[in-house]
Amino acid sequence: STLRIPVMPPSCHPCVAMEPLWLLLALSLLSPWGCAGGSCPPRCVCASNLLSCSQANLSAVPAPLPRFTAVLDLSHNNVTRLRADWAPARLPHLHALLLSHNGLAFVSTEAFAHVPRLRHLDLSSNRLRTLDENLFSDLGELEVLLLYNNEISTVDRTAFENLGRLRKLYLGQNRIARFPLELLREGSRLPQLALLDLSANRLRAVPAGELQALPAWLRDRLYLHNNPLACDCPLFQLLDRGRRRHLSAVEDFQDELRCVLPGTTVLVKILELAGKQPLNCSKAQEAVLEAHLGDSVTLGCDSRWQGVRSRHWVTPGGERVLGDGGNGSVVLLANGSLQLRALRPEDAGTYSCWVAGPLLNETLYVELLVHNFTLHGPHDTLNTAYTTLVGCILSVVLVLIYLYLTPCRCCCCRGAEKPPAPRDDSINSSVLSTTPNHAGGTGEPCGSHAAPGAGTGQNGRFKGGGTPPLPPRQGPKAQRKVSDPDSVSSVFSDTPIVV
């Protein structure tokens, strides 16, 4: 017994008969290069949404371009001018445009109006000389811009405005002589910029102080090698800190980081300037922060890894800080910094910040010096040692005033005082004698009471008054002198001094 299954003739199943034709038609409609999407331009290779016209000896951008093109490669051609109408229709899906090695010398300021979604733009190895005002302002989503190996000497300060998502900017191997600080300065810096290549240009100076204040993750990708920089110590210290932090822009190009010695044309390695003439630069100091008792300070964890979230601090006492510590005097902030409040003497020491990076771990050290006096507003409290010194000096001055600037001996003050003996017969000729009286001058209160027998005193000054000499005595003690009651001997002893 054989089981037989009836088979319908093809004419009874028109849909089955037409199935291969409908399948081919559907595939052609779904294909990006079908009739609905346009055809692949001549001398180009098309694959899905990729359009490659490299090395096709083109002098202009081929037209029309399919609307769904995502990557357009026009490198190694002869497209010398990029006009505003090179893309007459909007290309909303285009995210990569490659125009390197074209001899490109002109780019219209409206050339990128129809490609707002562009994220990668390669204009390297061309003949561009200037970057005009707002040249790339239409590319709000651009992330990578390659402009190296051109002839650029002029960069307008607004050429890179509105590039809020730009992460990498390559300007190496050009003729740039002015450092574009507006790209890095706080307030105008591109917010996402993580790499700036300025190597092999004509830079003679860089703002070392402002560059040192940049985050380490940005200095890690700031390339300055192969520039004729002028040697100075701030530049050396900037790069020396980068070498000790193992920043790749310094560590990977130590031999290419050279500068010109003052007054010469000699190129020397910047990192070898320490202790050498004529600059004799000193080594860069590690992070040191000074504060006073009761102050609040913030210790920054300047890691070379961008966007790190896993980090912790270790205090000088070995305590690990993950959040609020103690009574709230130690606080770990959201950005990884450590805030210390109401500083005490025991807070001084070296703090370490441990960072877990994507490739390697990193440890940063910050030394905190706490001075043992406080600050009150704009006026500083004097140091104890300084106060003691000032007090000693004032005491000495007062003693000298008391000893040497005695009041005038006048009748109204010392009427019954015995007149002093002549200066040449008294111990007043000593250096320790008192200051001569101010007698004999016009308007002096004691001038009218000077004794007739007044003579010349110490240093030739006139001294009014004096004790007349006694008649000479006979015998062995004939040479005894009358002691001066104002002399030093009258202060320390009642026995006359025998000369």
Write down the domain spans for the chain: 289-371
Confidence of residue 88 (pLDDT cuts 50, 70, 90): confident
* Least trusted range by pLDDT, from 131-135, 255-259, 377-381: 377-381
Confidence of residue 178 (pLDDT cuts 50, 70, 90): very high
Q: pLDDT at position 412, please?
A: 52
Residue 68 has pLDDT above 50, yes or no: yes
Q: pLDDT at position 327, please?
A: 52
pLDDT, tens digit (0-9, with 9 covering 90-100), for 429-469: 444 444 444 444 444 444 444 444 444 444 444 444 444 44
Confidence of residue 408 (pLDDT cuts 50, 70, 90): low
Per the CB < 8 A criterion, the answer to whether 297 and 340 are in contact is yes
Residue 360 has pLDDT above 70, yes or no: no
Q: pLDDT at position 284, please?
A: 64
The whole-number average pLDDT for the span 168-176 is 97
Q: pLDDT at position 304, please?
A: 73
Residue 376 has pLDDT above 70, yes or no: no
Per the CB < 8 A criterion, the answer to whether 169 and 193 are in contact is yes
Q: pLDDT at position 95, please?
A: 96
Percent of the chain with pLDDT over 70: 68
Q: Does residue 427 or residue 71 have the better pLDDT?
A: 71
CATH class of 289-371: mainly beta
The whole-number average pLDDT for the span 330-341 is 82
Confidence of residue 407 (pLDDT cuts 50, 70, 90): low
Q: Distance between alpha carbon 288 and the CA centroid of its chain, in Å?
A: 14
Residue 8 has pLDDT above 50, yes or no: no
Q: pLDDT averaged over the chain?
A: 75
Task: Answer whether the bond into residue 180 is a cis peptide, omega within 30°.
Answer: no
* Least trusted range by pLDDT, from 152-156, 265-269, 277-281: 277-281
The whole-number average pLDDT for the span 328-350 is 82
Q: pLDDT at position 250, please?
A: 95
The whole-number average pLDDT for the span 322-351 is 77
* Least trusted range by pLDDT, from 243-247, 270-274, 414-418: 414-418
- Minimal CA–CA distance to 299: which of 343, 256, 234, 257? 343
Q: Cβ–Cβ contacts within 10 Å for residue 101, how many? A: 19
**How far from 108 is each of 88, 159, 175, CA to CA, in Å?**
14, 12, 21
Residue 191 has pLDDT above 50, yes or no: yes
Burial of 270 (0-12, 13-18, 19+ CB in 10 A): buried
φ, ψ dihedrals at 492, nearest 5°: -95, -15
Confidence of residue 302 (pLDDT cuts 50, 70, 90): confident
- Minimal CA–CA distance to 209: which of 172, 237, 173? 237
Helix (H) or strand (E) holding 291: strand 288-292
Q: Cβ–Cβ contacts within 10 Å for residue 418, how many? A: 11
The whole-number average pLDDT for the span 104-110 is 94
Q: pLDDT at position 17, please?
A: 36
The whole-number average pLDDT for the span 215-242 is 92
Per the CB < 8 A criterion, the answer to whether 43 and 67 are in contact is no
Q: pLDDT at position 238, please?
A: 92
Per the CB < 8 A criterion, the answer to whether 95 and 70 are in contact is yes
Q: Which residue has the tokens 């300047």?
A: 302
Per the CB < 8 A criterion, the answer to whether 113 and 88 are in contact is no
The whole-number average pLDDT for the span 302-330 is 73
Q: Does residue 204 or residue 349 have the better pLDDT?
A: 204
Instruction: Read off the tokens for 52.
Output: 């490659």
List, in sequence order, every beta strand (DSSP E) within 41-136. Answer: 45-47, 50-52, 71-73, 81-82, 96-98, 106-107, 120-122, 130-131
Residue 43 has pLDDT above 80, yes or no: yes
Beta partners for 170?
146, 197
The whole-number average pLDDT for the span 110-114 is 93
Q: pLDDT at position 311, please?
A: 78
Per the CB < 8 A criterion, the answer to whether 180 and 156 are in contact is no
Q: Does residue 291 or residue 86 have the better pLDDT?
A: 86
Sequence-ordered alpha helix ranges (H) in 125-279 = 208-212, 216-219, 233-244, 248-251
User: What does DSSP say about strands 71-73 and 96-98: parallel, antiparallel, or unpaired?
Assistant: parallel
Nearest 10 degrees: CA dihedral of 124, 49, 109, 137?
-90
Q: pLDDT at position 33, please?
A: 45
- Minimal CA–CA distance to 142: which of 116, 124, 180? 116
Q: pLDDT at position 286, please?
A: 63
Percent of the chain with pLDDT over 90: 36
